Amino acid sequence: MNGSPGGRRILVAMSGGVDSSVAAAMLVEAGHDVVGATMKTFCYGGDAAESRKTCCGLEGIRDARTVADRLEIPHYVFDVEKEFARDVIDDFVAEYGRGRTPNPCVRCNSNTKFRDLLRRGQVLGCDGVASGHYVRLDRGAGTPRLLRGADRSKDQSYFLWGLPADLLGLLHFPLGNLTKAEVRARARGLGLVTADKPESQEICFVPTGDYRDLLAGRLPTTHPALSPGAIVDPRGRVLGRHGGYSGFTVGQRKGIGGGRSERYHVLEIRPETREVVVGPRHLLEVAGVVVGDLNWLAPPPEPGRNLRVQVRYRSPALACTVEALRREEVELSFLEPARAVAPGQSGVFFDGERVVGGGRVRRVRGARR
């Protein structure tokens, strides 16, 4: 069922879910020489039941191999645990230790899932890598352009801003023009075991579902992030105590105590003093943001240009103006209300449907307090 003399040899990242299964099937149908690969990252120690719940656990490997057999393509398991720990887990722990809110999926996509897979695929004679992400690639203008997925409810371009620009021409996203319902229908039509498999909601290296379990196991017990501190209002008045600022992120409203007529949210985390600053919801509004650790997939915008920036996956992209562009960071002013912007989150820049680039939020500017 696999390949044709005129097709390319493409390595498909197969997590064991329906999306990557259908991506592989579509490439086979298109006449490419397809090779399936599943990454062994982290989820194989400890409780076996927990390892099965994650997208890259033992069940994922089994299902990916079953689909590969159904499609009559070879399937490999790559041990990337060392790279994954270095690029994703260590960064995740360090960011929370600094009082920031990281996105590990961005780190995985920027490094392990594509860069490291391509390197391994080239050893197998592959000249491209594919995944089941809901994004599109426009190759018609010479320089490939990364675009939002046609199904905006499933669009995953937010997670791919960190891809090296020079890799775009080697990537394939077969699901970019499909909806989730269409993907499942295709999987059922092909008789794939993953057709009705539910989506994984957990962070793959946090099988318990509580990231604080991971931090407690990897940070020293005396680390400030795990140490008690004060819960204060914006004026510095002590309202209560907490057991470690690593359990909080900007915008959070649970776990900060009650007894007030107005519900309070986390406004800021101050790791240097171990303080968690809380206040009413309207104080979450910010006027601007500074984004660093930049990666550009299109020419960088000049100061004065209007773009849209998305600061979390399930939030809309907000209109903004580029105030300043420096070598390592860009400063933006929001043209519409922005709330609960947390340092460490990804800020992804869009010009219409195109992903211009992105980075990590370093600090908010001009908080309206």
Give the range of the structural domain holding residue 234, as residue numbers without chain letter: 223-282
200-211 pLDDT, tens digit per residue, is: 767 888 878 889
User: Residue 4 above 50 pLDDT?
Assistant: no
Contacts of 359 (CB under 8 A, 6+ apart): 161, 291, 292, 293, 294, 295, 329, 330, 346, 347
- Does residue 150 lie in a domain region? yes
- The fraction of the chain above a pLDDT of 70, given in percent, is 92
Q: Do residues 185 and 238 share a domain?
A: no
Please identify which of the residues 43, 56, 204, 320 carries the catalytic annotation: 204
Task: Strands of 142-283 (E only): list them.
Answer: 145-148, 171-172, 229-232, 238-242, 264-270, 275-280
CB atoms inside a 10 Å sphere around CB 301: 19
Tokens 């004065």 locate to: 304
d(CA 62, CA 108): 21
The reply to whether 168 and 290 lie within a common domain is no
Whether residue 210 is contained in a domain is answered as: no
Q: Kindly state whether residue 33 falls inside one of the protein's structural domains.
A: yes
- Same structural domain, 159 and 234: no
Query: What is the pLDDT at residue 54?
Result: 52
Residue 349 in any domain: the answer is yes
Percent helix, strand and coil across the chain, each rounded to 5? 30, 30, 40
Cβ contacts of residue 363 below 8 Å, gap of 6+? 289, 290, 343
What total number of domains does the chain contain? 3
Stretch 119-129: mean pLDDT, rounded? 94
Catalytic, 204? Answer yes
pLDDT in tens, 307-346: 999 999 989 999 999 999 998 899 999 998 899 999 999 9
CATH code, domain carrying 355: 2.40.30.10
275 shares a domain with 310: no
The verdict on 248 and 295 lying in the same domain is: no
Q: What digits encode the pLDDT tens for the residues 14-36?
A: 999 999 999 999 999 999 999 99
Helix axes 18-29, 58-71, angle to 10 degrees: 20
Name the domain boundary from 170, 189, 208: 189
User: Buried b vs exposed e over 46-59: b needs ≥16 C-beta within 10 Å?
Assistant: eeeebbebbbbbeb
Instruction: Examine residue 328 and state whether it is found in any structural domain, yes or no.
Output: yes
Mean pLDDT computed over every residue of the chain = 90
Name the CA radius of gyration of the chain, rounded: 22
Q: Is residue 297 part of a domain?
A: yes
pLDDT in tens, 100-116: 999 999 999 998 889 88
Residue 369's pLDDT is what? 47
Residue 199 forms part of a structural domain: no
Confidence (pLDDT) at 320 = 97
pTM to 2 decimal places? 0.91
From the list 174, 168, 74, 84, the residue with the least C-alpha distance to 128 is 168
The pLDDT value recorded for residue 257 is 74
Catalytic hit among 105, 108, 126, 320: 108
Active site residue 55: no
Q: Give the pLDDT band of residue 285 (cuts 50, 70, 90).
A: very high
What is the rounded average pLDDT of the residues 246-272? 88
5, two tokens: 């003399």
Of 46-60, 140-154, 297-311, the range with the highest mean pLDDT is 297-311
End-to-end CA distance of the chain: 63
CATH number at residue 273: 2.30.30.280
DSSP H helices, 141-259, are 180-190, 211-218
Same domain flag for 140 and 273: no
Mean pLDDT of the region 65-83: 95
In a domain, 218, yes or no: no
Identify whether residues 68 and 161 lie together within a single domain.
Answer: yes
CATH number, domain with residue 170: 3.40.50.620
Which value, to the nearest 10 degrees, does the dihedral of the CA atoms of residues 77, 182, 200, 116 take? Answer: 40
